[in-house]
Amino acid sequence: MAPPPSTDPAVPAWLQERLETAGGRVPFHTYMEWVLHDPEHGAYGSGRLRIGPDGDFATSPSLGPEFASLLAPQLAEWLEVIEGPLALVETGPGEGQLALQLAEALAANCPALAGRCSLVLVEPSPGLAERQRRRLAAAPLPVRWASFEELAAEPVRGVVLAHEVLDALAIERIVWDGSLWRCQEVVLHAGADGAFALRLEPGDPLPPEASAALAPGGPLSGVLGPGDPRFAEGRRPVGWCTELHPGLLPWLGACAAALGEGHLLVIDYAHEARRYYAPQRSAGTLMAYRAQQASGDPLREPGHWDLTAHLCMESLEAAALAAGWRPLGGRRQGEALLALGLAERLHGLQQGSAAELASLLARREALLRLVDPLTLGDFRWIAFARGPLAAEAALPRFLRDPQPVDAAPAA
């Protein structure tokens, strides 16, 4: 599907005005924050982006209820060890599909637990929150919307889920100039014809507080630090560009303040630092998505495209530790879903009747897409715990080995 034509000029008036007020150039981080999260003009903030196979991009829960029904037993395992009222907090719930599917799975399969549990949705976009309200109007669990700051006044106990949220936090783009790192900037240029255009240019040197991750002892010291021999050998050419994740620590800190006790599950695109910052990855991982199309140009139709960057596993873990979380481990989505019974679910579909063939084939297709190693199956599931139970938390079910298909009951 081709993206619908945008009526915006190359540089929309609101962005031109902001850039002029800022002196004609801003760090990439500021630009990304504006074009994604500005409540009036941002792709998420305005509620313009649509999530699903018929929208701008598909996510695992937007393919149907299979993802949530496999994930729900993991969440139930974590919730069951906590006494009293429970909260299942979903951050960045998008269209609200996953929240509704999880509420339905918990109410159907764990009614006693569901009776103690409410849904809390953390969604900064008013437009998306409105669509979530409509979708969850008849949810089988009580639902409320709150910010992390509001929750911190009376922290909840339970689970926080961050599915494809941290990849939407604004990243800093940095450029190697041959001797030091510079912040990449978005610059407003006036052409001879009076029309404005945006360009990406190296800006100021990376400030010391932003370079901490690269310094000795930092999570990236081995791959981007000043002592990394690959820079001395000139293997990163001038203009080599990548990303840092300054939004992770504040987000994880705010999330920790909102959750008195329990678990955080991050599900997102991620690479280990050695892959993320490999010399051949010369433009980082930043991508733009709209109407099921991908683009490497983050300056295209600002405010109409999703911009997304992978997480770095080591940076995420370091930020989580600094924010008071205990890392429990991570796994690719394909392996995590197999450990949660996806193979048994597929096996069970063979028992269906001929009359159900079309729906069985659709479910089979959805399950296979969730574990496709080239797409959703390569996502990472990364778990953290905090509070008194963190010290004794068992290995999460999704990190345990899958059961052999023959030993499992049919779904």
Ligand X SMILES: C[S@@+](CC[C@H](N)C(=O)[O-])C[C@H]1O[C@@H](n2cnc3c(N)ncnc32)[C@H](O)[C@@H]1O
List residues near ligand X by CB under 6 A: 44, 51, 59, 61-62, 91-94, 98, 122-125, 128, 163-165, 168, 251
Question: Taking the complex as a whole, how short is the minimal distance between the CB of residue 343 and ligand X, in angstroms?
Answer: 24
Euclidean distance between CA atoms 134 and 200, whole angstroms: 40
> Which C-beta is closer to ligand X: that of 130 or that of 201?
130
| Residues 310, 270 contacting (CB under 8 angstroms) | yes
Q: Say which residues have a Cβ less than 8 Å from residue 366's Cβ, sequence separation at least 6.
A: 63, 64, 66
> Which C-beta is closer to ligand X: that of 11 or that of 255?
255
> Which C-beta is closer to ligand X: that of 122 or that of 159?
122
Question: Taking the complex as a whole, how short is the minimal distance between the CB of residue 241 and ligand X, in angstroms?
Answer: 23
Nearest to 18 by CA among 32, 37, 31: 31
Question: Taking the complex as a whole, how short is the minimal distance between the CB of residue 170 and ligand X, in angstroms?
Answer: 9
Give strand pairing partners of 241: 175, 283
Residue 279: how many CA atoms within 13 Å on its side-chain side?
Answer: 11
Question: Taking the complex as a whole, how short is the minimal distance between the CB of residue 404 and ligand X, in angstroms?
Answer: 31
Question: Taking the complex as a whole, how short is the minimal distance between the CB of residue 254 and ligand X, in angstroms?
Answer: 8
Question: Taking the complex as a whole, how short is the minimal distance between the CB of residue 303 and ligand X, in angstroms?
Answer: 13
Give CA 108 to chain center in angstroms. Answer: 28
Question: Taking the complex as a whole, how short is the minimal distance between the CB of residue 395 and ligand X, in angstroms?
Answer: 25
> Which C-beta is closer to ligand X: that of 104 or that of 123?
123
> Which C-beta is closer to ligand X: that of 62 or that of 69?
62
Q: Is the dihedral of CA 236, 241, 246, 247 positive or negative?
A: negative
With H, G, I as helix, E, B as strand and everything else as coil, classify residue 93: coil
Other Cβ atoms within 10 Å of 179 Cβ, number: 9
> Which C-beta is closer to ligand X: that of 123 or that of 301?
123
Kind and range of the H or E run holding 105: helix 97-109
Q: Which amino acid is at 231?
A: F
Q: Is the dihedral of CA 101, 105, 107, 113 positive or negative?
A: negative
Nearest to 73 by CA among 328, 396, 335: 396
> Which C-beta is closer to ligand X: that of 169 or that of 393?
169
